[in-house]
Amino acid sequence: MQHGLWQSVLGEIELSVSHAAFTTWFKNTELIEQSDSSVTIAVPNIFAKRQFEVKFNSQIKAILEKNGVSPDEINYTVRTTGKRTTTRETTAPPEQSKTRAEELIAPRPTPSASTNNSGLNPRYSFANFIVGSSNDLAFTACQAVASTPGTKYNPLFLYGGVGLGKTHLMQAVGNEIIKKQPEARVLYISSETFVKEFLESIRFKKKGFSDKYRNVDVLIVDDMQFIAGKEKTQEEFFHTFNALHQSNKQIIISSDKPPKSIPTLTERLRSRFEWGMSIDIQMPDFETRCAIVETKASLSGVELGRDTIEYLANNIKTNVRELEGALNQLLAYAEMRGVAPDISTAEGLIGNVRHTRPQHVTAKQIIDKTARHFQIDTKEICSAKRDKHIVVPRQIAMYLLRSELHLSFPKIASELGRKDHTTAIHSVEKIEKAIKLDFLVREQVAEIREKLYA
């Protein structure tokens, strides 16, 4: 009865949310208790619990009522048993007890022999990847590849800046494939490793180089931009690519830029990289950064205050690795000094690195950087002109004022010399949609952001 009811609820929810959102939040949930006055739903982790309580509760209650169940309250509980594990839970036997500080600075566990053979790190999984608007398309595509390798999105090409999650997602695909098909031959390498081994095979006349890369079921290559300019290596990778693709073997590649923007990449390689699907991973927005901080802290057994979470998310905007590093530094410092990891402690620690970036970004800086990026005068972007070469930069500036500074629409309109704030609403909504559909707009917004926080 409970199972059937919950499946009906999930069926309706799946039609109303994105595939990535459904997979992330709803797929691993279960209705475990039902009475006349309440229902209890099991969710996979603390962050999911918060999301359900704050974001999805009213939607679930409405759908339950449509299915004949009208509880006075809905309770969410974290599932205590299941498939999800974390690094810290597996680094020490149950009888040992480590402080969080010791866990944070302890060496990582040595991967198993099978993991060494594949080059994959078992820590990277879909379960511990935080999905947001900046990466939901890449997340969904990677899950599709993991379900049917070699048949969908082949090759899959992920691109974006440093520390945005490309390596995590690629390795999550490999780990998921091995989990479902233990006999699958998966190989993860960096392009530098490929270059190094290719040169050694020529210099020392080593045999077996081609066989190593062409006899796998899934080849995952990170940082492909470093192969650019190396003609002989590109030729070898071209033949490797063809051999795998013709055998319906999955190829996954990452780079810091799309194939067409990689300099000195041969045209035949570029065209092959664009055969499948190319997806960019953008800098995480404020909500995603908050989610990352909260989830990583909960995995360490710490519940941070909302002000502390927002402080970290507001001050480290461009790099997930740097954000996680700041969090680890905060938790380790608090543990070793015996103080609470609160906002005052965070301010003291983050203040040590903030001199390397602007103390804050102002509305004027956003408007000036946007105008300079499009090679127009700041006065033009704030004028009443409706020329296309001015309108689009003005809309992007409005979007950035909203996304980076969280300004109100009337304030945004005022900053750009407009009296009617509905123009700001329309502009922000238009760029939000364009970012999802138009690569050029995504790239322009990303480049301006990088200049703001460089």
> Which DSSP category does 252 fall into?
E
According to the model, what pLDDT value does residue 36 have?
81
Average pLDDT over residues 73-82: 75
Report the distance separating Cα 103 and Cα 309, nearest Å.
21
Q: Which amino acid is at 21?
A: A
Listed in sequence order, the residues at least 6 apart from 46 whose beta carbon sits closer than 8 Å to its beta carbon are 78, 294, 295, 298, 303
> Which DSSP category does 146 fall into?
H
Helices 422-437, 388-405: axis angle to 10 degrees equals 90
250-255 and 38-43 beta bridge pairing: unpaired
User: 427: number of CA atoms within 13 Å, CB side?
Assistant: 25
Q: Which helix (H) or strand (E) holds 258?
A: none
Name the pLDDT band for 6 (thresholds 50, 70, 90): confident
Listed in sequence order, the residues at least 6 apart from 97 whose beta carbon sits closer than 8 Å to its beta carbon are none
Q: Which helix (H) or strand (E) holds 250?
A: strand 250-255
Residue listed under structure tokens 């944070």: 104
**How much is the CA Rg of the chain, to the nearest whole Å?**
24
Lay out the sheet containing 277-281: strands in order across: 186-190, 218-222, 250-255, 156-160, 277-281
Report the distance separating Cα 397 and Cα 240, nearest Å.
44
**C-alpha to C-alpha distances, 432 to 75, 164, 452, nearest whole angstrom:** 34, 19, 19
| Phi, psi for residue 200 in degrees, rounded to 5 | -65, -35
Segment 357-374, tens digit of pLDDT: 444 688 999 999 999 999
Residue listed under structure tokens 């690629």: 170
Segment 141-171, tens digit of pLDDT: 999 999 999 888 989 999 988 888 899 999 9
Report the distance separating Cα 330 and Cα 141, nearest Å.
34
Residues in the chain: 454
Q: Tokens at residue 253, please?
A: 């590649």
- Please state, rounded to an integer, the average pLDDT across all residues of the chain: 82
Segment 293-311, tens digit of pLDDT: 988 888 788 888 888 998 8
Does the pTM of the predicted model rise above 0.75? no
Q: How many CB atoms lie within 10 A of CB 121?
A: 18
| Stretch among 114-123, 192-201, 214-223, 262-271 having the lowest mean pLDDT | 114-123
Name the pLDDT band for 355 (thresholds 50, 70, 90): very low
| Residue among 313, 251, 248, 263 at smallest CA distance from 285 | 313
* 8 Å CB contact between 160 and 282: yes
Q: How many CB atoms lie within 10 A of CB 370?
A: 27
DSSP SS3 for 3: helix
CA-based end-to-end distance of the chain: 56
156-160 and 73-78 beta bridge pairing: unpaired
Q: How many CB atoms lie within 10 A of CB 375?
A: 8
Segment 14-51, tens digit of pLDDT: 887 766 677 777 878 988 888 888 889 998 776 678 77
Q: How far is CA 158 from the centre of its chain?
A: 11
Q: Tokens at residue 14, please?
A: 């799946």
